[in-house]
Amino acid sequence: MYKFFILLLFLVNTLFANVLEDDLKILKDLGLESSFLSEKSLLATFDEYSSSYNINYYNNLLKKSSLNVQIVKSEIQNENLPDTVFFIPLLEASFVNQERGKNSPAGLWQIMPLTAKNLRLRNDESIDERLDLIKSTDAASSYLKKYYKKLDKWYLAILAYNSGEGNVAEGVARCALDRYLELNPNMNNTPSINNYKKMLNDYRVTKTGFSNLYDVYNRFESSYSFEYLVKNNKVNQYLAESSITYIKKLIAFSMITNRDLFKSIDKKAKYTLEKVKAPKGIQLRSLANAINMDYNEFRNLNKHIKKETLPSDSKSYNIYIPQNKLELYNQRIFTIKPIKENATDTKIVETKKTNITNKPIIYIIKKGDSFESISKKYKVNLKKLKSDNNKKSNLIKIGDKIEIYK
């Protein structure tokens, strides 16, 4: 009995040590001090969200959106982002891909219209790429990487994503200066310090001199501490309390995952997605019928297409289908007729119908491939190859599919 007790104690201690190590890795990956793990408000957040009620609630959310969950999980791993980033769509949108209104945020990542423009996500009367499951996730990843490059810490990049770069840069710069003066009181009111104070005050009043914020932060970064910011935030209002709560929730969710309490994270989706190109002017219902798929389910995969018909302003457009429907799609796509918008369009449709006598070759990009090497291999015009695939640059990714018309 005694030996059993010792073994049990050893296993418990080993498990605890492993979990503690995993929790510390969360903080390290985000750029936070390891001591933040003992921060009372963080522990309180963890206790709240690890309750049975909340575990069940969030597990159900993850279960209902298993496809979206797996897409985000895969894309984040591909982009080498911290695992904690996975939970942003859970906080932002409960992993539901939806639009709230014309000027409101949309999609899993709740991207605002102006942000979408900056990220080069199409958002017009026909298409809203904020609702494109993969493209919006890649765009959000790029946004976070941009902030990380400037702020050099992932948790600050996440805060900037949540509450705006200017708010975060001003808050941490002011916090860094305050802590420096607390550690070096004799430096207060020196000409250089007064100049830095003026830079911060000018930005708060006029919202000008944005680059000065980074000058202040970089000068006093060694004095900056997120723990100091959290403890003094209610008095000095460095950041909105909701933003600090936001990062603590993300950390708490990651800690809960380390304890294997979010079982639904690894739940397999009904299917995996395949991105394919569909010709312009085709009705979505016709596409769904061609691959024997329920129309509402098909629309749910392609919410980024606002109308019932693919836009006619480009030769083709990306849509998503289940991977197990790919072969059927390739067999039937060229039997689907575009809608005839008017008499002039009728001739165009008929001409295209007679010209499409051969199916394109679907080529999957491999390591070392380029448009030039592919055009030479298949003896097709380089310019035409890029045009057929709606590509303006020479950038291609391993695993992408391109169409080759002989």
pLDDT 10s per residue in the chain (406 long)?
Answer: 544 444 333 334 444 557 889 999 999 999 999 999 999 999 999 999 999 999 999 999 999 999 999 999 999 999 999 999 999 999 999 999 998 877 899 999 999 999 999 999 999 999 999 999 999 999 999 999 999 999 999 999 999 999 999 999 999 999 999 999 999 999 999 999 999 999 999 998 988 888 999 999 999 999 999 999 999 999 999 999 999 999 999 999 999 999 999 998 988 888 899 999 999 999 999 999 999 999 999 999 999 999 999 998 888 899 999 999 999 999 999 888 887 654 333 333 333 433 434 567 878 787 778 878 888 777 788 777 877 787 777 777 777 777 887 6
35 DSSP assignment: G
Structure tokens at 352: 């295209």
For residues 143, 146, 152, 154, the Cα torsion angle rounded to the nearest 10 degrees is: 10
Domains of the chain: 155-239 (no CATH), 271-354 (3.10.350.10), 358-406 (3.10.350.10)
Assign 3-state DSSP to the chain and report helix, strand, coil percentages, each to 5: 65, 10, 30
Rounded CA-CA distance 403/282 in Å is 18
**How distant is the alpha carbon of residue 319 from its chain centre?**
19
Burial class (CB in 10 A: 0-12, 13-18, 19+), 88: buried
pLDDT tens digits for range 196-216: 999 999 998 988 888 999 999
Average pLDDT taken over every residue of the chain: 87
176 Cβ neighbours under 8 A, 6+ residues apart: 216, 217, 219, 220, 221, 223, 224
Structure tokens at 227: 């723990």
Partners of residue 401 on adjacent β-strands: 364
Is residue 204 within 8 A of residue 165, CB to CB? The reply is no
Rounded CA-CA distance 309/301 in Å is 15
Rg (C-alpha) for the chain, rounded Å, is: 26
Q: How far is CA 159 from CA 103, 250, 347, in A?
A: 22, 11, 54
Range 344-360 burial, b when 16+ CB lie within 10 A, else e: eeeeeeeeeeeeeeeeb
**How distant is the alpha carbon of residue 117 from its chain centre?**
16
